Amino acid sequence: MKKLLLASALAALGASQAQAAVISYDYGVPIQEERTEISQSFNLDLFDSNLGTLTGVTFTALTTGTTELSLTNNAAQNQFVGARTEVNLFFTADNAILSAIFSTFNPFSNPILQLDMVAFSGALIPPGETIHSGEITGSDQITLSSNDYASLLGLQQTGGGQSLISCQSITSLIVQGGGGNVSSSQETYAGCAVTVSYQYEPASTPPDDPPTQVPEPTTLALLGLGLSIAGFSTGAMRRRKR
């Protein structure tokens, strides 16, 4: 009995897995970095409800960045400083569902994405000298799932459709120490990308034409026997007529 139940459970699981399907889209991949401040836009594809029943949505936002800093000591004595570039990314959308989710993130205090690129951590700058960081890189990503944001299941409509999404940056150069005697400059680049995956159960389709039935071996044997008897009877009748 246990084996039967296990077999039934596995069969049901296999049938369930066979019905599940996923369709995914990506935008801005590979990421194209631009000099900040940036404003990049993507046309996000909505799920076509004709395909079936939407059961899950995964939305991922990604960013990468590059920065170079230069610090100059304008004082008559050494200056001990730290410096970094901070890039906060925020998103907007013309879709009400995405717009509501994006609005829960504050671009200053709680950005949806952030690049924190440390160029100097305790650098000593002699009087009149300038130091350069070289190229510093950073990356970040966040995944929003319908498990946490059930409203994402609303990203669908009959026949599909699109939603315009924009990614924008707020860039800061943060210098610690120096007592106001250190001047700075930066050159920073950043870019965004978005991916979305829709998990769904495909809509049922009309059954295919019934397969042509092949006679079983027993049926073929009986048919052959019947033909043989018919042939024998015909031959006997001809001999009698003679």
pLDDT for the residue 222: 44
Cα(212)–Cα(225) distance, integer angstroms? 24
- Per the CB < 8 A criterion, the answer to whether 181 and 74 are in contact is yes
Q: What is the pTM of this model?
A: 0.77
**Does 230 score more than 70 pLDDT?**
no
pLDDT tens digits for range 214-224: 555 554 444 45
Residues 22-46: what's their mean pLDDT?
98
Q: Write down the mean pLDDT value for the chain.
A: 85
Beta strands in 77-203 (DSSP E): 79-93, 113-125, 130-132, 136-145, 156-157, 161-177, 182-202
Q: Is the pLDDT of residue 206 over 80?
A: no
- pLDDT at residue 225, as a whole number: 43
Tens of pLDDT, residues 52-91: 999 999 999 999 999 999 999 999 999 999 999 999 999 9
Q: Give mean pLDDT, residues 197-212.
A: 74
Torsion of Cα atoms, 145 then 195 then 49 then 54, to 10°: -30
DSSP 48-85: EGGGEEEEEEEEEEEEEEEEEEEEEE-SSS-EEEEEEE
Taking residues 19-36, what's their average pLDDT? 96
Q: Which of 141, 118, 12, 163 is nearest to 64 (CA)?
A: 141
